[in-house]
Structure 1
Amino acid sequence: MSLPAGLLAYAARGPAWVQWLDRLPALLGELQEEWQLTGDGAAAHGHTAVVLPVRTAGGRPAALKVGFPHEEAEQEHLALQHWHGRGAVELLRADPHRSALLLERLHPEDLADLWDLESCEIVAGLYDRLHVPAPGRIRRLAPHVLRWADQLAALPRDAPLPRRLVEQAVTSARDLVATEPPGGDRLLHTDLHDANVLAADREPWLAIDPKPLAGDRHYEPAPLLWNRWEELVSGPGSVRDGLRRRFHTVVDVAGLDEGRARDWVVVRMLVNALWHLQDPAGAVPAPADEWLTRCITVAKAVQD
Structure 2
Amino acid sequence: MDPKFQRMVLSDGHFIPVLGFGTYAPEQVPKSKAMEATKIAIDAGFRHIDSAYFYKNEKEVGLAIRSKIADGTVKREDIFYTSKLWCTFHRPELVRPSLEDSLKKLQLDYVDLYIIHFPTALKAMEKCKEAGLAKSIGVSNFNRRQLEMILNKPGLKYKPVCNQVECHPYLNQGKLLEFCKSKGIVLVAYSALGSHREPEWVDQSAPVLLEDPLIGALAKKHQQTPALIALRYQLQRGVVVLAKSFTEKRIKENIQVFEFQLPSEDMKVIDGLNRNFRYVTADFAIGHPNYPFSDEY
Give the greater-gyration-radius structure (CA): 1
What band does the TM-score fall into relative to the shorter chain? under 0.3
When normalised by structure 1's length, the TM-score is: 0.27
Higher relative contact order (CA 8 A, sep 6+): 2
Q: Which has the higher helix share?
A: 1
When normalised by structure 2's length, the TM-score is: 0.28
